[in-house]
């Protein structure tokens, strides 16, 4: 199964909670109460969108590239 690096923008909402979206994947929108929950939910939602696009024969956005090790990725570490 291919793996993809997806740039995600996270913002805090005035009414509380957080919102994530990605300019690289149309339709990707995740809302959660905490950043940890947001990061936990995001891969599954992105995977479902990508699989849906592939099943419908919709080309993946050019900004979305398949990767294989070795690769570089940022890691969010709570301290």
Hey, what are 39's tokens? 């990061």
17: alpha, beta or left, given left = phi > 0 and alpha = psi -120 to 50? left
pLDDT per residue as tens digits for the range 27-41: 999 999 999 999 999
The model carries a pTM of 0.87
Strands 3-4 and 18-21: unpaired
* Residue 65 phi, psi dihedral angles, 5° rounding: -115, 135
Angle at 28 between CA 24 and CA 33, to 5 degrees: 125
Averaged pLDDT of the chain: 93
């Amino acid at each position: 199964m291919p793996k993809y690096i997806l740039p995600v923008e996270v913002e805090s909402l005035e009414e509380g909670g957080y919102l994530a979206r990605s300019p690289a994947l149309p339709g990707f929108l995740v809302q959660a109460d905490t950043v940890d929950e947001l990061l936990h939910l995001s891969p599954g939602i992105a995977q479902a969108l990508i699989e849906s696009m592939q099943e419908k024969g919709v080309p993946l956005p050019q900004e979305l590239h398949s990767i294989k090790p070795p690769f570089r990725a940022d890691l969010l570490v709570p301290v």
